[in-house]
Amino acid sequence: MSRKPYQRRKYWNEPTMGGWERFYLFEIVRGLSITGRVFLRNMGKWLTGRKGALTAYYPEEIRKDYAAHNRGKHILTQRPDGRPQCIACNMCATVCPAQCIEIEAGFDPEDAAHPKYPSRFEIDYSRCVFCGFCVEACPEDAIRMVKITPDLPSGDRHDMWFRRDELLGWHPQRDVAKPYPPKPDGKAGGNP
Amino acid sequence: MKQDLVIHGIYIAFAIGLLMTFGLILTWVERKQAAVMSDRIGANRAYLRIPFTQVKLVWWGLFHGLADGMKMLLKEDFRAASYDRVAYALGPWVVFAPVLLVFAVIPFGGQLVPAQLVDSPELAAWFGDRTYRMQIADLDAGLLVIFAFGGVTVIGSMLAGWSSNNKFSMLGAIRSASQMISYELVMGLTVLGRILIYGTVDLTEIVQQQSGVIAGFLPAWGLFLQPFAAVLFMTAAQAENRRIPFDLPEAESELIAGYFTEYSAMKMGLFMFAEFIEIAIIAALFVTLFLGGYNLPYMSDAGFTLPGGHFIALSHGTVVLLQVLTFLVKVFLMCSFQILVRWSLPRFRYDQLLRFAWKFMLPLAIANLIVTVVAVWAIRGAGA
């Protein structure tokens, strides 16, 4: 019965550099030529009026590589007469793990089929985690998520709310200037 | 006498304005070039708004340097709990001042004859037949002055590191000094070869001797005479400036910020500013020693002499303008090259840094010197 002699496990890599790489000078020239080539290529693009970067300008530009099923910003679907499909059942607000949906139900005696409607429907995008639970929970298909993200960069968290009318009448083309919702103290902000 | 004062006043204003502009712009160029090299956009948000209008001058973020400067000026001037407040306050200035002084001996143009500059009889009468070299201090020992002032810089970083009362600063200062000693040697030996070839340490002389043509078509720049020395000099100069492949004195991952860890506000800004101006200084020095200074290929004080014997005459004003512009463009390109190196190569380990200096660069510099000596002896000896 023979046991294999103990061999230390080799967990390191042998140095693979040859004399050429160790001389260092030519490898530096090679590295510099690579970075210099990238620089000249991008600079040529910039100078000829094209974009020489992979970055998207954040609020001004929409990224090209969002998937069609990307969970971005919420929209409230509408009935043919333009009123929200939402029946203010609060299921989305209940399921929301970030607790960022606020709904206040209103009563409309005129509409016998849907007497309950949201008089307030607000989403706090500074809290939203874009999980899509609200869309799944909705029994009426009243809330959906669209491809484009809500671009609300701001220095103030109170600027990061979307209110009912914005969620209803949402157009990506118009979605640049947002009116500010009022702050809790009721003084600042001017949204009628 | 008055005329000399006017001319030199203009030179000094030009040099200081030039260096400050370079220092300010290079902060932006560095960020922007790094961004372009890595497929990014880079700093592009700071703008100047023209007062009383909504016109915003963005200019590709060119004002970021200005914004940085403002920030530095307005920050709290923190003082370290140090025993030596004088040395602590002196440190940044000792780093900053020599960097500016070095430019005094670098020629940024050829001969200036103010009387011929513009077509004005009064000016011509006032200046007479005076000629000036476009250089602030016309010293015989130009190259030695550069090395002398270059060596003073490290005293500033030593002072800063020692008086900060901080281990990181101390380590940074010690590293800075040892690095300085190692690479100053290499740099000196490299430049010795240049001195041997030109037989002078006067920078104007050196540049004038580079204005000819060798082998019929190649401009007689130092780069073509001694390409090897050029590489060595550039490497050593970058090490002197403590920029990234050699930035051990301020290695962020090890020493926070090295010898200026305890500095804040504009004192820290002075260190950064000195570093950026030194990029321009190194570029100017390299241009002077190896790229023919203000010389364009085939250009003399009278005009262009193309290799085919074709001659294009230029007026004195055009020549002066061309020379100054050539110098600036060359300096800017060399600055850009240094930034390319800084964003391409990884940092050395400390032992690698010193081994690289003493076991690799120094033998190469000595070999370069010996080859130069033999070549000069062979050529001059044969001639004499």
* Model confidence at A124: pLDDT above 50: yes
Using DSSP's 3-state secondary structure scheme, residue B157 falls into helix
- Tokens at B172, concatenated: 């940074």
Query: Looking at the domain assignment, is residue B66 inside a domain?
Result: no
- Number of structural domains in chain B: 1
Segment A80-103, tens digit of pLDDT: 777 788 888 999 999 999 999 999
For A31, the closest chain B residue by CA position comes to B344
Segment B17-75, tens digit of pLDDT: 888 888 888 888 888 899 999 888 888 888 888 888 888 888 888 888 888 888 888 98
- Residue B299 is classified by DSSP as B
Give the mean model confidence (pLDDT) for residues A183-190.
52
Return the pLDDT at A103.
92
- Where exactly are the structural domains of chain A? 18-52, 74-168
**CA B56 from centre of chain:** 33
Give the mean model confidence (pLDDT) for residues B340-364.
87
Query: Looking at the domain assignment, is residue B375 inside a domain?
Result: yes
Query: Looking at the domain assignment, is residue B60 inside a domain?
Result: no
Residue B155: CB partners within 8 Å, gap ≥ 6? Answer: B94
Give which of B285, B201, B198 is closest to B240, Cα–Cα. Answer: B285
How far, in Å, are A56, A57, A151, A173 from residue A60 at the CA level? Answer: 8, 6, 9, 12
In chain B, the N- to C-terminal Cα span, in Å, equals 43
- Residue B308 is classified by DSSP as T
Q: Do B38 and A32 touch (CB under 8 A)?
A: no
What is the CATH topology of the domain spanning A74-168? Alpha-Beta Plaits (3.30.70)
Burial of B157 from C-beta contacts in 10 A (0-12 / 13-18 / 19+): buried
Residues of A whose CB is below 8 A from B345:
28, 31-32
Q: Do A24 and B37 touch (CB under 8 A)?
A: no
Give the closest-approach CA distance of A133 to chain B in angstroms.
35
Q: Do B35 and A24 touch (CB under 8 A)?
A: no
Comparing CB atoms, the residue among A31, A42, A55 nearest residue B344 is A31
Q: Is B117 on the interface with A (CB under 8 A)?
A: no
Query: Looking at the domain assignment, is residue B300 inside a domain?
Result: yes
Query: Looking at the domain assignment, is residue B4 inside a domain?
Result: no
Return the pLDDT at A97.
93
Q: Do A32 and B340 touch (CB under 8 A)?
A: yes
Q: Are B111 and B129 in contact (CB under 8 A)?
A: no
Burial of B294 from C-beta contacts in 10 A (0-12 / 13-18 / 19+): buried
Q: Is B346 on the interface with A (CB under 8 A)?
A: no
The pLDDT confidence band at residue B307, using thresholds 50, 70 and 90, is low
* Model confidence at B379: pLDDT above 60: yes
- Residue A164 is classified by DSSP as H
Query: Looking at the domain assignment, is residue B1 inside a domain?
Result: no
Return the pLDDT at B85.
81
Q: Is B131 on the interface with A (CB under 8 A)?
A: no
Out of B24-28, B126-130, B262-266, B357-361, least confident range: B126-130
Sign (positive or negative) of CA dihedral B153, B156, B160, B162: positive
Query: Looking at the domain assignment, is residue B270 inside a domain?
Result: yes
Comparing CB atoms, the residue among B36, B340, B360 nearest residue A52 is B36
Query: Looking at the domain assignment, is residue B53 inside a domain?
Result: no
C-alpha angle B240-A34-B328 in degrees, rounded to nearest 5: 50
Q: How many CB atoms lie within 10 A of CB B221?
A: 22
CA distance B61 to B67: 10
Residues of chain A that touch chain B, judged by Cβ-Cβ distance less than 8 Å: 24-25, 28, 31-32, 34-36, 38-39, 42-43, 46, 52-55, 57
Give which of B358, B379, B377 is closest to B369, Cα–Cα. Answer: B377
Q: Are B261 and B164 in contact (CB under 8 A)?
A: yes
Arithmetic mean of pLDDT over chain B: 83
* Model confidence at B217: pLDDT above 80: no
- Tokens at B196, concatenated: 């041997």
Q: Are B136 and B105 in contact (CB under 8 A)?
A: yes
Residue A191: CB partners within 8 Å, gap ≥ 6? Answer: A163, A179, A180, A181, A182
> What ranges in chain B are assigned the alpha helix state H?
2-37, 64-74, 85-102, 121-127, 142-163, 167-198, 203-209, 222-225, 227-241, 252-255, 265-290, 316-342, 350-355, 362-383
Segment A132-164, tens digit of pLDDT: 999 899 888 888 888 888 877 888 888 888 888
Comparing CB atoms, the residue among B39, B231, B360 nearest residue A54 is B39
Q: Is the pTM of this model over 0.90?
A: no
